[in-house]
Amino acid sequence: DAGVIQSPRHEVTEMGQEVTLRCKPISGHDYLFWYRQTMMRGLELLIYFNNNVPIDDSGMPEDRFSAKMPNASFSTLKIQPSEPRDSAVYFCASSMLTEANYGYTFGSGTRLTVV
């Protein structure tokens, strides 16, 4: 398995532009998570899905952020309009919460820079 695949790896955009981050979870995993990591705030859980349904989006900072999971193999995190304070590394993770394995697999992240 190729693991959790995120694209793009790096994104540089101008303030006010729309940004879309993409994630392909591991096949068979029924949970998908979006995280943001910054030096100041560490790793923050933004939203997570179970069977393509958003379960908890309380970590989404504001209405400029939205996430979708149209099917089991794809999710997007969109920021519109983007702001410099959105600059961070965004991680996607997936998991299959079986009894024997509660480990979560993270992607390599998307480093977003908003100028």
Partner 1 sequence: LAKTTQPISMDSYEGQEVNITCSHNNIATNDYITWYQQFPSQGPRFIIQGYKTKVTNEVASLFIPADRKSSTLSLPRVSLSDTAVYYCLVGDHNNAGNMLTFGGGTRLMVKP
Minimal CA–CA distance to 104: which of 43, 20, 40, 19?
Answer: 43
What is the number of alpha carbons within 13 Å of residue 111 lying toward its C-beta? 3
Looking at beta carbons only, is 12 or 43 nearer to partner 1? 43
Stated as kind and residue range, the H or E segment containing 109 is none
Residue 39-78 contact track with partner 1, rule CB under 8 A, x = bound: ---xx-x--x-x----xx----------------------
CB of 55 to partner 1, least distance (A): 7
Q: What is the chain's length? A: 115
Site stretch for partner 1 (CB under 8 A), options 21-29, 67-75, 79-87, 89-97:
89-97
